[in-house]
């Protein structure tokens, strides 16, 4: 996607794109240690940013959604730190699925 195309997206669409792109990166890095390490790091950075944003005072998201995103962020961080590049395929699939499901939810939530 070009910079111009990205600029025309809503915030929700940009966030969904970032999560989807990270999921694809994780999937494509499967079995390649160096690429997997980079993809896991990128995904972790994304989830740390999500946690930071939803934890800010005055965040407009409902408390339950904020709580769920913080919990997911903790799961992603814990899994990444615990397993690293030795992550089993089943847990890598879980990380990919989380990203795709949150991206889908953002897109279904309408434009913001």
pLDDT tens for residues 23-76? 999 999 999 999 999 999 999 999 999 999 999 999 888 999 999 999 999 999
Domain membership of residue 92 as a residue range: 10-108
Q: In this predicted structure, what is the pLDDT of residue 111? A: 42
Q: Are 76 and 95 in contact (CB under 8 A)?
A: yes
Reduced to 3 DSSP states, what percent helix, strand and coil does the chain have, rounded to the nearest 5?
80, 0, 20
Q: Using DSSP, state whether 14 is helix, strand or coil.
A: helix
What are the residues whose beta carbons fall under 8 Å from the beta carbon of 59, sequence distance 6 or more? 53, 66
Tell me whether residue 4 is in a domain: no
Tell me whether residue 99 is in a domain: yes
Tell me whether residue 101 is in a domain: yes
Q: Are 78 and 44 in contact (CB under 8 A)?
A: no
Tell me whether residue 75 is in a domain: yes
pLDDT tens for residues 73-110? 999 999 999 999 999 999 999 999 999 999 999 899 74
Tell me whether residue 2 is in a domain: no
Q: In this predicted structure, what is the pLDDT of residue 9? A: 82
In this structure, what DSSP letter does residue 56 have?
A: S
32: left (phi over 0), alpha (psi -120 to 50) or beta: beta
Question: How many domains does the chain fold into?
Answer: 1
- HSE of 110 in the Cβ direction (CA atoms, 13 Å)? 1
Looking up tokens 């994304």 gives 46
């Amino acid at each position: 996607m070009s910079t111009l195309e990205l600029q025309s997206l809503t915030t929700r669409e940009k966030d969904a794109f970032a999560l989807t792109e990270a999921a694809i990166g994780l999937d494509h890095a499967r079995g390649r240690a160096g690429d997997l390490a980079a993809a896991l790091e990128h995904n972790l950075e994304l989830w740390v940013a999500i946690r930071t944003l939803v934890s800010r005072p005055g965040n407009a998201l409902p408390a339950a959604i904020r709580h769920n995103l913080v919990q997911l962020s903790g799961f992603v961080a814990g899994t990444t730190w615990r397993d690293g590049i030795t992550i089993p395929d089943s847990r890598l699939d879980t990380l990919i699925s989380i990203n795709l499901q949150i991206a889908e939810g953002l897109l279904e939530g309408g434009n913001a």
